[in-house]
Amino acid sequence: MPLEAPPHSATARAAALTSRHGHADAAALLDAALTAPEAGRLAVVSSFGAESAVLLHLVAQRDRSLPVLFIDTEMLFPETLTYQADLAANLGLTDIRIIRVSEAAKAARDPDGQLHKTDPDACCALRKSAPLQAALAGFDGWITGRKRYQGGVRESLAPFEADPGTDRIKINPLAAWRAEDARAYMDRHALPRHPLVARGFGSIGCMPCTTPVRPGEDPRAGRWRGQDKTECGIHFENGTLVRPNVEGEAA
């Protein structure tokens, strides 16, 4: 991985990478990201959720020491914390960075841990976005596991994109994957499943804001069920912040 920051803007870097590698498959796209000078210093951001094992396995095959940022909102299912530790060990990942909100920020904004009930956007900004933005300082880009099939604002996801409001790029090697591609990959490589998948969770976030999905439902339908909210705010999409962000901050 390059040690120096690339000289051009995130938009120019994403465009250059797209023109050369935009049609590559996930493995080739990741190879390009890990070697191209335009990519710069990269981290993976993973929720260790339902399909996270795919991206982490692809990364581990190439560079087990690549930093992996995991946001522990302190609202996660205990199963996620166990899965995170087990999967990281299984794949031999050596630089897992667990990101949490500071005690001071928590005391100031969510002292009783109930903010998710009254203002989930502010809660996501406090517990996800702000800690992630702080953790991404010093990186020129981050690799995500988002996919177009996940719908909503992800339907037009590009493999390389500028991260608006920052000088970083985002790399989405699995953008074109479908749910069945991820399942087949996990079967082929005998990757462990998040234990909540077997209990009907299609997408796994924080405990207060995640429910199982019914057969045929969108996998993300169990996230913030019954609310207008569909994303946590760590991603801008198509130049628009997906959700309001209270103090600058990353699923």
Catalytic residues: 232
Under rule CB under 6 A, how many of the chain's residues touch ligand SF4?
A: 13
Q: Minimum distance from CB of 207 to ligand SF4 (Å)? A: 7
Residue whose CB is less far from ligand SF4, 67 or 205:
205
How far is the C-alpha of 215 from the C-alpha of 147, rounded, in Å? 20
State which of positions 77-96 bind ligand SF4 (CB under 6 A): none
State the residue for tokens 């702000």.
130
- The one among 47, 52, 73, 84 contacting ligand SF4 by CB under 6 A: 73
Closer residue to ligand SF4, CB minimum distance, 45 or 124? 124
Position 45 contacts ligand SF4 (CB under 6 A): no
Kindly state the tokens that stand for 191.
């990757």
Residue selected from 26, 169, 206, 242 as contacting ligand SF4 according to rule CB under 6 A = 206
The residue to which tokens 């990281």 are assigned: 88
- ∠ CA 205-211-214, nearest 5°, is 125
Q: How far is the CB of 97 from ligand SF4 (least distance, A)?
A: 18
Asked if 60 contacts 34 with a C-beta cutoff of 8 angstroms, the reply is no
Applying CB under 6 A, among 10, 56, 75, 213 the residue interacting with ligand SF4 is 75
Q: Considering only 81-89, 142-150, 204-212, 234-242, which stretch makes contact with ligand SF4 by CB under 6 A?
A: 204-212
In the shown chain, the binding pattern of residues 94 to 133 toward ligand SF4, with x for contact by CB under 6 A and - for none, equals ----------------------x---x--xx--xx-----
Cα–Cα dist 93/66, whole Å: 8
N residues, the chain: 251
Distance CA 175, CA 154 (A): 9
How far apart, in whole angstroms, are the C-alpha atoms of residue 239 and residue 242? Answer: 9
Question: Collapsing DSSP states into helix, strand and coil, what is residue 43?
Answer: strand
Interacting residue with ligand SF4 among 40, 159, 205, 219 (CB under 6 A): 205
Question: Which of the residues 126 through 165 are near ligand SF4 (CB under 6 A)?
Answer: 127-128
Report if residue 222 touches ligand SF4, rule: CB under 6 A: no
Residue pointed to by tokens 């692809």: 58
Whichever of 73 and 172 has its CB closer to ligand SF4, that residue is 73
Angstrom CA distances, 221 to 12, 146, 229, stand at: 35, 15, 10
Closest CA to 248 of 164, 158, 152, 170: 164
Assess 57 for contact with ligand SF4 (CB under 6 A): no
What residues make contact with ligand SF4 under the rule CB under 6 A?
73, 75, 116, 120, 123-124, 127-128, 205-206, 208-209, 232
